[in-house]
Structure 1
Amino acid sequence: MDNSIWVANYTEQLDFILMGLFSQSKYPILLCVVIFVIFLMALSGNIMLILLIYSDAHLHTPMYFFISQLSLMDMIYISVIVPKMLMDQVMGKNKISAPECGMQMFLYLTVGGSEYFLLAAMAYDRYVAICHPLHYSTLMSHKMWLLLVSGCWFLGSVDGFMLTPITMTFPFCRSREIHHFFCEVPAVMKLSCSDTSLYETLMYLCCVLMLLIPVTIISSSYSFILLTIHRMNSAEGRKKAFMTCSSHMTVVILFYGTSTYSYMFPSSYHTSEKDMAVSIFYTILTPVLNPLIYSLRNKDVTGALKNLLNVESAFQRTMK
């Protein structure tokens, strides 16, 4: 009997407690409904964008292939975090086991890291399309699309495989309360009772590389793009190039800005409230904003949507 009680207590101690957003809110039910609506909008928007890209032959280009991959990453990103958070609120639970915490951490690190490099690949694609249009089909062949996207997923998984096991193997002998709404590395590391300064330094260097390499590619690509746009004689060509690039730069600023705060600012700048507010932006809001940015500001996508709706309405009239 005593042994079974010890096992039960030990198992209980392995669980983390996610304090979450709702404990900080005066209106948790309203907040829960709002997040659920945003989650549905993110899923439906990204699914629609992927279906449009794969169903319309005019969108079978590298740029739209990368956008479809971005939508896939956003769907995984928000699905890893939000359903668990909402279910906990509905069922009145806020516990997460160590394996579940580790899996959540691995998935968001992998997808987040992949998205860093995907945004760099998208910037390179725009650079080739605008600065070297005559060589575009050669430099951005179908094989190159697949190679770039595979490389993005691989580099993202390296981040997940490297940081997750180290983080989860530290001894946690302090409070098991994670002052966050998901198992983010900095929030989990605060619970460790051992010296994590060396690991935090290594994690900082890793994040610098994960951000520095893509940012260098993006900055270089857009520097050349802006020079090329400035030299264009056609006003229509300048407008089209600028609109395409401004959509991508909006996404880059949103994603990189919040990630830089979370992983590169010193711990003295961080509080639980600030960390959660910033995390809401890149884990919940960005996945719902990306399809809006790439669809509402893109004539090709809106044209594909109109064509799809026209085909459906014609089919319905035929059936009648």
Structure 2
Amino acid sequence: MTEMLEISDLTVHFQINQGAIEAVDHINLTIRRGEILGLVGESGSGKSVTSFAILRLIRPPGRVVSGSVHFDGIDLGSLPEEQMRRMRGAKIAMVSQTPRTALNPLLTVGRQISRLLMVHAGLSTREAEKRMLEMLRLVRIPAPERRANQYPHQLSGGMCQRIMIAMALATSPQLLLADEPTTGLDVSIAAKILDLLRELRTKTGAAIMLVTHDLGVVAETCDRVAVMHAGQVVECAPVRDLFHNPAHPYTKALVRSIPRVDRDVVLEPISGSVPSLVNPPSGCRYAGRCEWAMDRCRVSRPPIVEAAPGHVVACYGFEERRGTC
């Protein structure tokens, strides 16, 4: 598989009265054609900001401080806004974490999907309406002809989420950014949506970045996983390797926090809290919560090292323990 998306040294800040929030800090990620990459981490770790930065949708007080995003060999940062606008929705689509606010409140949901298809797929009005109804049926919208004529405020949150997914999949994008796509959906519908994502990947070779808190969804759906903590990528590995051999202490804590009935402690929470991103520590941002922390962890940021083929981690403690084995 060749690389569809390459993020290099991406840094995003948000300016507030207290200073600059370092929401994303020098991250490097790649997504290959036909691959589903899971992006996991606590709330506020920078996952959604990364998605918006890919689409060049960071708005003031936010700004991209450094780095580049290449899609299919094209530097997205260098494109004129008109070309970038044509890229969004056609070649790169996004399922927003807040579907009700992402939809236009002044247009019916059917009209919104139809307009997307007319603009990006070049369909006629009749063809777009037919395709729109097909997409509504595909995401299990009941009575699609009636729902198509309703406005977002007339639909439930879960229904709006499925509308957003229908819009994202309608043009068969090459890259799909799915930000918590199953939020607000019941188990059966969520399973159907995940099946749709896998089907899109199989049929079109699309790359998918799946942002989620649900490690069960990651284990079932993703090929590789990148773990984010406090704006930084601390580990990236094939999904099976990450669950069986987590290398970073934060990843280990995430895996231990999964509820299980086959052990005495059903739920093991992660101790401590995420450091402030206004004046973050100069060293490892997990050091204040880490049982492996050493003096140098608090002074300098750990470099990315290879834990195994295709498995990288940023942790001095891992290096120390590997060296004593």
Larger RCO (alpha carbons 8 Å, 6+ apart): 1
Query: Normalized against structure 1, the TM-score is what?
Result: 0.25
- Structure with higher Rg: it is 1
Structure 1 or 2: more helix by fraction: 1
Query: Normalized against structure 2, the TM-score is what?
Result: 0.24
